[in-house]
Structure 1
Amino acid sequence: MKRQVAERSGRDAENRAAHWLEERGWSILARRLKTKAGEIDLVARRETLVAFVEVKWRLRAADLDCAIDERRLARVAAAAEAVAQEYLVSGDDMQIDVILLAPGIPPRHIANAWQP
C-alpha cells in the first residue's frame, strides 16, 4: 500500500511539474520515459533547448535539499544520452534539470543541474 501511495504521489508531482513548465513556455515531449540506463520523468523543449527533467516530491520542504544526489543525476544523464537523438535536432542544446516540489511552496527549478 505504501508503494502505491508513493507511486501516486510521484505521478501527481510529475503532472504538476509538467504543468508548471508548460506555463513557462515549455512543451512536454515525453513523460516517464524508460531507457536501459534508467527513467526520465519529463522531456521538455523550449525553442532550441531540450531538458531531461528529474522531478522530486517531498512532504516537507526541508527534505528537498536532500532529495537529489550526484548518483541519481548521473543516472538521469545516462538515460538522456541514450535517447537524446530521438529528441534533439541539429543546433539544439540539451541539459539535465531538476524540479523540486513540496506542499505550500512554489516549484523549485534547478536548470542544468548536471555538469560532469
Structure 2
Amino acid sequence: MTRRRAEQQGRAGERIAAWWMRFHGWRILGERVKTPRGEIDLIARRGRTLAFVEVKMRTNEAALAMAIDDFRLRRVIAAAEAVLPRYGAGATDIRIDVMLIRPWRLPIHMKNVWHG
C-alpha cells in the first residue's frame, strides 16, 4: 500500500471512530492533535472522562491485531501528557483508548488500555 493510500485509509478510520464516539455521547475536542512527542488521533470527553484515542484501521483482523503495541501506546501517552494542561481541566478520569476499525464491521472501542 502506498503512503498516500495508507494516509487516506487512516483518515477514514479516524472519521468513523469520531462518528462512533459521538453516537455514544462523546464530544470530540481534538482530531489529529500534533505535539513534539507525537500525534493523538482523537481527544474526546464525556462528562468528567477524558480519553486520548489511538485509531487503527486495517482491512483484516490479523493486521488489526498487530496494529497496536507498547511502543505506539507510549507515543500516545507522551503526546497526551504534553496536551493534558490544555484539555484536562475538570476531568477526573483520564485514559488512553484504542478504536479498531475494519471495513463493514462495527468499530471496537477498547477502553483504558494503558495501566502503566
- Report the TM-score, using the length of structure 1 for normalisation: 0.95
- Report the TM-score, using the length of structure 2 for normalisation: 0.95
**Counterpart code for 1:41:** D
1:69-102 CA deviation, whole Å, 9 max, x = no partner?
0110011001001101101113532100000011
Work out whether residues 49 and 91 of structure 2, in 8 Å CA contact, stay in contact via their aligned partners in 1: no
Q: Distance between the aligned counterparts of 2:91 and 2:99, measured in 1?
A: 25
- Note the residue ranges of structure 2 that are not aligned, 5 or more in a row: none
Aligned to 1:34: 34
Q: Distance between the aligned counterparts of 1:69 and 1:56, measured in 2?
A: 11
Aligned to 1:19: 19
Aligned to 1:112: 112
Q: Which runs of 4+ in 1 moved over 6 A?
A: none
Q: Within the alignment, does 1:75 sit opposite 2:75 as a pair? A: yes
Change in 2 beyond 3 A, CA 1:82/1:59:
same
Q: Distance between the aligned counterparts of 1:33 and 1:89, measured in 2?
A: 17
Q: How many residues are paired up?
A: 116
